[in-house]
Structure 1
Amino acid sequence: MVRYPLTKAIAALDEAGVSGLRIHRSYWVAIDAVERLERVNNKPVLRHRNGSQLPVSRTYFASVKTCLANRNKPEPGLTNQA
């Protein structure tokens, strides 16, 4: 086991070009691994593509919601023409 602060690990992932979100004091998740944001027992959770549920804290909820909403929007200037 290697003890390493989460903030330093996130910085290293950013430098490596891995897109992700901090969703809780103890959780970071790759954006591509997120299926959806949902509520379970009236608490926000992320549904991971492997089926697990990850807690989203009040501190990070707004940024998670915004990021997930924006990830599905097309980039400006791009069209869906065949």
Structure 2
Amino acid sequence: MLSAEDHYVRVTTTTGTELVLMRLADAMAEVGQTQGLQVHRSHWVALDQVVKVARIGDRGELTLSDGSTRPISRGFMPAVRAAGLLPKGRGA
């Protein structure tokens, strides 16, 4: 997962975490073949680490394999649905 913190990005992998001085957009460009999705202006997640997705009104929340959670903002909900993490339609 990648999380923006001021001018830094917290990079979290299955082997640890590191705070790196770079923009989130640049960090997302560096993930290589890892399939992932930006779910919030400050968060990108690897799809294979998502274990649960919950709706909270018109937004949502992801739970990752390490137990941490990340918000899904309204603007990124269509991409989350398209990735198959939520059923299609507004009522989901």
Distance of aligned partners of 1:59 and 1:46 in 2 relative to their CA distance in 1, 3 Å threshold: same
TM-score of the aligned structures, taking structure 1 as reference length? 0.70
Identity %: 33
Q: Which structure has the highest helix share of the two?
A: 1
Q: Which structure has the highest strand share of the two?
A: 2
Q: In angstroms, what is the RMSD of aligned CA positions?
A: 1.9
Cα distance, 1:28 vs structure 2: 0.5
Other-structure match for 1:8:
26
TM-score of the aligned structures, taking structure 2 as reference length? 0.63
Other-structure match for 2:76:
60
Structure 1's consecutive aligned runs of 4 or more residues displaced over 2 angstroms after TM superposition are none
* Paired residue type of 1:61: M
Instruction: Return 5+ residue gaps in structure 1 as ranges.
Output: 71-82
Instruction: Return 5+ residue gaps in structure 2 as ranges.
Output: 1-18, 87-92
Cα distance, 1:69 vs structure 2: 4.4
Other-structure match for 2:64:
48
Once the two structures are superposed, residues 18-62 of structure 1 have per-residue CA deviations (whole angstroms, 9 ceiling, x without a partner) of 11110001101000000121124x341011122222100111111
Q: Which one has a bigger Cα radius of gyration?
A: 1
